[in-house]
Amino acid sequence: MNNFMLKPLGLSLLAASLGSMASVASAASVAEQAEGILNKQCVACHTREGDNQWSRISYQRKTPEGWLMTIARMQVMHGLEISDADRRVLVKHLSDTQGLAPEETDGYRYVLERRLNAQESLEPALLAEGCARCHSGARFKLQRRDEAEWEHLAHFHLGQYPSAEYQMLSRDRDWFPIMMEKLVPMLGEQQPLQSSEWSSWQQATKTDMKGRWSVAGHMPGKGDLTATMVVTPLAGEDQFSVSMSGQYADGTPLQGSGKATLYTGYEWRANLTIDGVRMRQVFAVRDGQLTGRMFNRNDESMGADISAAHMDGKSTLLAVQPGYIKAGTQSELMLVGTGLSGMPTFGKGVEVVSIRKDSDRRMHVTVRASRNHEGVNAVSIGKAKGVELAVYKDIDQVNVVPAYAVARVGGNGGSTNKLFARFEAEAWSAGKDGQTGTADDFRIGMVPATWEARPFDDIAAADNDLGFAGRLDPRTGVFSTADAGPNPQRRMMTNNAGHLTVTAQVQDGNQTHSADAELIVTVQRWNNPPIP
C-alpha cells in the first residue's frame, strides 16, 4: 500500500464525503443502512458486541470530520474498501449517534472552519509536546474516549509512526512511558466518553433549517457582506439545497447555490458555488442562529466569518456595519438581522438622524456621534440586541490580524493549490486614560490600510525572499503566493519560500499608524486532512 494515497484523499475527501447524501437516500433510514455497512464491512476487524455495538467504534465520539478521517484511515492504512456513498452514510450515522455536543466543540471550531493561522495554547504543556507538535491540538480536543480508548490511540501512534519517539520534544524524555502514565489518564479524565452535555444535546430540540435566513458577514480583503440564504429540504435525512443572494459593502453582488447536510443536529456542512468560486460552509446551528465560516475550497485563506438568523418572525440583531463611528462625525450604518422594526438606539452620544429601511432584515441608519463621548455602545432595536458600536475619538493603536501568518506555494502544475495570506488592520482606542495597553482600551474594528512587505531579516534580504515568495496587494492586504517547485534562480535551487514582514499603514486624520505582522511563505501541505 502506498502512503501517498493520503495526498489525493486529503481535502477531496472533505468535499466528496461531507457533501450531499441525497444520492444515497432510500427507503431504509441512515441508521439502518449504517448498521448494515458496519455489520458487513467493519466486522472484518471490529468485533460485534451485541446489537449496535462494535469494538473500538462504539467507544468514541467525534465530529463529522473526525469520523471521516477515521474511516479514511481504515481505507488508506488497513485496506478497507468502501464506496463514497457508504462512507457518507457511516459518517452521517456515527456523527449523529456518537458526535459531540455543541458546547464540546466550543473553543476548537477554528480547526473545522479551516482557520489555518489560529494559534493554539494548550495546557498543560504536555498536551502540546505530546500531541500537538505533530497535529493541531483541536484534533484530539474534538474527541471523547475513555482511558482505555485513549491508550489504544497512543499505541496506534507509536506503532504506526515509530519515529514519533525520536523527534524533538520526544527524544529529550522517556516519551512513551510519559504518554502511557501521564497523558493517557489525563485525556481519559478530561475528555471521557460520556458527558452531561452530550446527554442533554441528544434530548434537545434541534433547529429546523428549512426556510429563509438573514446573513451578515465579513471577508478579509473584501469587507462586510449581507445576504439571504434559502434552505430547502431534499430527499434524504438532513439533506438540503441552499442558495445565497446578497452583496458586499462595496456593492459587488454575492450569488450562489449548492447542497448541504446537517450532522449531529447542528453541524451544517455545505458545498456551494458562489460567484464561480467553490465555497464551503462550516456552521454551528443553535436556537435558530448559526455562526461559522464560509471559505474558498481551493484557497482556504479566503473566507468570510458568517452569522445568520432564521427569518421565522423573531426579531434578531446580527451586526451593525461598519461597527464603529468616529466621535464628532455623521455616517450611515447598516443594521442587519431579522424582523427589524421600530426605532434603533445606538447608546450614549449617538443620535439617529434618519432611517432608510430596505427590508425587515436590513436597516440603513444615519447617525451622528457627539464629539464628547467615546466607548463601546450597546445597539438595540425593539427587543433585539447583542450588537455593539465602537465610538472612538482617535485611533491610538493598530494591530495586523493575523500577527503571524503562513502562506504556501502551490500550483505550477503540481497537485496542491496555492494558499494565500490575507491581512487586516485592526484599530484600537486607548480609551479614557489615553494609554494603550490598559484595561479601558477598546477595539474599534477593521479599518482601511495600505500594505507593504519587506524582508524579515538579513537572511531573507540576502535570499531576495521579497522578490521570489509572492506579491502583497498594497490596497487589499492580500498576499498572492508564488509558484511551487524548485527555482533554479534561487540559492541552493530552493523553492519560493520566504520570510517577510508585512506592514499596515492606517491614516486617522493627520496621524499615521503602522503595525507589522510576520509572514512565513513555505512549501505545500502535502498531507492535508480535514482536521490538520
Residues that bind other proteins in the complex, under the rule CB under 8 A: 1-3, 45-47, 55-56, 77, 133, 152, 155-156, 158-168, 170-176, 457, 459, 492-493
Between helices 6-17 and 84-97, what is the axis angle to 10°?
70
Angle at 84 between CA 81 and CA 88, to 5 degrees: 115
First to last CA, the chain: 23
Q: Which is nearer to other proteins, 159 or 251 (CB)?
A: 159
- Give the side-chain half-sphere CA count within 13 A for 471: 4
Q: Which is nearer to other proteins, 285 or 497 (CB)?
A: 497
Q: Which is nearer to other proteins, 160 or 480 (CB)?
A: 160
Q: What is the spatial order of strands in the sheet that 498-508 belongs to?
A: 404-408, 511-522, 498-508, 450-455
Closest distance of CB 458 from other proteins, Å: 8
Q: Which is nearer to other proteins, 1 or 27 (CB)?
A: 1
- Give the side-chain half-sphere CA count within 13 A for 88: 24
Closest distance of CB 134 from other proteins, Å: 8
- Pairing mode of beta strands 303-310, 384-392: unpaired
Closest distance of CB 59 from other proteins, Å: 11
Q: Which is nearer to other proteins, 27 or 168 (CB)?
A: 168
Residue 485 C-alpha cell reads as 517547485
CB-CB contact of 280 with 295 (8 Å):
yes
Q: Give the three-state DSSP class for 286.
A: strand
Closest distance of CB 198 from other proteins, Å: 24
Q: Which is nearer to other proteins, 165 or 332 (CB)?
A: 165
| Rounded CA separation 180/156 (Å) | 12
- Give the side-chain half-sphere CA count within 13 A for 14: 26
Closest distance of CB 189 from other proteins, Å: 21
Closest distance of CB 177 from other proteins, Å: 8
Q: Which is nearer to other proteins, 387 or 419 (CB)?
A: 419
Q: Which is nearer to other proteins, 100 or 164 (CB)?
A: 164
126-142 residues labelled b (16+ CB within 10 A) or e (exposed): ebebbbbeeebbbbbbb
Q: Which residues 6+ apart lie within 8 Å of 457 measured at CB?
A: 499
Cα–Cα separations (whole angstroms), residue 392 to 27, 249, 359, 376: 60, 21, 29, 8
Q: Which is nearer to other proteins, 378 or 493 (CB)?
A: 493
* Helix, strand, coil percent content, the chain, rounded in steps of 5: 25, 40, 35
Closest distance of CB 321 from other proteins, Å: 39
Closest distance of CB 468 from other proteins, Å: 16
Q: Which is nearer to other proteins, 123 or 458 (CB)?
A: 458
Compute CA 138 distance to the chain's CA centroid, rounded to the nearest angstrom. 12
Ramachandran quadrant class, 382 (left: phi over 0; alpha: psi -120 to 50; beta: rest)? left
CB-CB contact of 375 with 353 (8 Å):
no
Among 397, 405, 425, 428, residue whose Cα is nearest residue 481:
405
Closest distance of CB 1 from other proteins, Å: 6
Closest distance of CB 150 from other proteins, Å: 12
Closest distance of CB 48 from other proteins, Å: 11
Among 304, 293, 278, residue whose Cα is nearest residue 16:
278
Q: Which is nearer to other proteins, 16 or 158 (CB)?
A: 158
Q: Which is nearer to other proteins, 46 or 368 (CB)?
A: 46
Closest distance of CB 176 from other proteins, Å: 6
Residue with cell 451578515: 216
